[in-house]
């Protein structure tokens, strides 16, 4: 009996040590109600896999990234830290301050599993340095079915001309045609949505990927800027300074017809008890083959030689990308999974449309943050904020944008 008791005690001690050995401190910025519910699915999955999740939430994306970088540079790194699917962490890679997770990527077949825009963002110089957890498309168009019915809009717009015709009908009906939060990052989303869906895929890539100065003066790009300037006439006087979720609430209540916003807006509709396809609709661009923008969130793994921490990093990467975790997390987050080989039965019609789009590689397109450095993004964003909030002409914004991408 004594031997059995000692053996049992030893087993418990070993189990405790194993769990402790895979303790993972994770810095992230998901602090709102919906975001907290989503990140809890990641924590639960990691704990169920035998690890111990140590939550290190920091409110605000900029604050969380700064905290992570300071910890890494100061020699006290977390196990993992959240960034966007972008170039935000490439400087940290260049400094040699991140571990790669090539063993997990090879075992899980990421080269074949993940969409090319994501691979291009997280596989640097032949090595995987981040694990993606979702795909957010920032360029969704959301609309109130009751508002469109009241305005006599019979069908979802399939072209930009039909979109403006619908806006005109909403305005005539005394409704707010476009709910927009007048903050620079929301104006930025509206800008690149129109470059992509009005100017077209080529105009978008020449500007954001190639930084082609001449392309800014091309007919497709100017068409997008002309349409963007026209769009300003369809927002209400209360737009400046409005939060994005308050703009979504206008669509939820039927006071406004449309909103251009990422798929995180679905969380607001869901919290209000509304169902996609019933009270509200969605489309990811004009027409059935519109480009589908790929954005989202990743976790990076700070440099360490501690074997237990490396094991924890690999476990995090494995758990985060598993089919079950992907479905559970993204259903809470409003985004779609990074993989298309998952059960979409429990997803709403908007998410199902997104998964279908991601199965067509020709529709996938990288978001601006994957294609431009943070400094260039900031310079372009400043130009667009001025254009949106002033009487600046298309000719003026063309010159300003050319200067911004010249560097």
CA pair distance 311, 19, nearest whole angstrom: 11
229 CB neighbour count, 10 Å cutoff: 17
Torsion (CA) 81, 361, 368, 166 in degrees, nearest 10:
-120
CA pair distance 165, 142, nearest whole angstrom: 16
Does the model's pTM come out above 0.85?
Answer: no
CA–chain centroid gap for 345, Å, is 22
Residue 148 contacts residue 257 (beta carbons within 8 Å): yes
Alpha helices per DSSP H over 22-144:
33-48, 61-73, 90-94, 102-108, 110-113, 116-122
Structure tokens at 212: 């082609």
- The pLDDT value recorded for residue 334 is 83
Q: Alpha carbon of 24 to those of 3, 36, 42, 78: distances in Å? A: 34, 17, 12, 8
DSSP 3-state assignment of 406? helix
Structure tokens at 250: 């206008």
394-406 and 374-388 are packed helices; what angle lies between their axes, rounded to 10 degrees? 170
Residues of each domain in the chain carrying CATH 3.40.190.10: 2-135+295-360, 140-293+366-406
- The pLDDT value recorded for residue 21 is 53
Strand partners, 280: 144, 276
CATH superfamily for 2-135+295-360 is Periplasmic binding protein-like II (3.40.190.10)
Strand partners, 339: none
Extract the residue ranges of the chain whose pLDDT is less than 70. Answer: 1-21, 407
- The pLDDT value recorded for residue 26 is 98
From the options 3.40.50.300, 3.30.420.40, 3.40.190.10, 3.40.50.2000, give the CATH code of 140-293+366-406. 3.40.190.10
- In SS3 terms, 186-235 reads as HHHHHHHHHHHHHHCHHHHHHHHCCCCCHHHHCHHHHHHHHHHHHHHHHC
- The pLDDT value recorded for residue 3 is 33
């Amino acid at each position: 009996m004594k031997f059995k008791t000692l053996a049992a005690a030893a087993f418990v001690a070993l189990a405790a040590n194993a769990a402790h050995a895979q303790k993972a401190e994770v810095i992230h910025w998901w602090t709102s109600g919906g975001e907290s519910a989503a990140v809890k699915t990641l924590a639960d999955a990691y704990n169920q896999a035998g690890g111990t999740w140590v939550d290190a939430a920091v409110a605000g994306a900029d604050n969380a990234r700064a905290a992570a970088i300071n910890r890494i540079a100061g020699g006290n790194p977390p196990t993992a830290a959240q960034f966007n699917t972008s170039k935000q962490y490439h400087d940290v890679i260049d400094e040699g301050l991140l571990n790669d997770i090539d063993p997990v990527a090879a075992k899980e077949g990421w080269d074949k599993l993940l969409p090319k825009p994501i691979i291009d963002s997280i596989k640097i110089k032949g090595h995987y340095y981040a694990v993606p957890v979702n795909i957010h498309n920032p360029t969704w168009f959301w609309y109130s079915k009751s508002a469109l019915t009241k305005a006599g809009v019979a069908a979802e717009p399939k072209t930009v001309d039909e979109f403006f015709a619908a806006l005109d009908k909403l305005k005539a009906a005394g409704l707010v045609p476009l709910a927009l939060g007048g903050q620079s990052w929301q104006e930025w989303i509206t800008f690149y949505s129109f470059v992509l869906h009005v100017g077209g895929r080529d105009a978008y890539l020449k500007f954001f990927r190639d930084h082609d100065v001449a392309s800014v003066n091309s007919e497709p790009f100017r068409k997008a800027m002309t349409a963007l300037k026209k769009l300003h006439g369809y927002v209400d006087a209360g737009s400046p300074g409005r939060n994005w979720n308050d703009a979504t609430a206008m669509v939820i209540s039927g006071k406004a017809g449309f909103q251009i916003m990422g798929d995180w807006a679905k969380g607001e509709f869901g919290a209000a008890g509304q169902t996609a396809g019933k009270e509200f609709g969605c489309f990811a661009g004009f027409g059935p083959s519109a480009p589908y923008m790929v954005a989202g969130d990743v976790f990076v793994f700070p440099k360490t030689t501690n074997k237990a921490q490396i094991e924890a990093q690999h476990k995090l990467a494995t758990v985060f990308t598993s089919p079950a975790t992907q479905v559970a997390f993204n259903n809470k987050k409003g985004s779609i999974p990074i993989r298309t080989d998952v059960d979409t039965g429990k997803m709403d019609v908007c998410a199902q449309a997104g998964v279908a789009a991601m199965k067509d590689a020709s529709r996938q397109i990288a978001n601006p943050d994957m294609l431009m450095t943070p400094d260039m993004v900031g310079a372009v964003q400043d130009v667009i904020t001025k254009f949106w909030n002033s009487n600046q002409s298309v000719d003026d914004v063309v010159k300003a944008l050319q200067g911004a991408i010249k560097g």
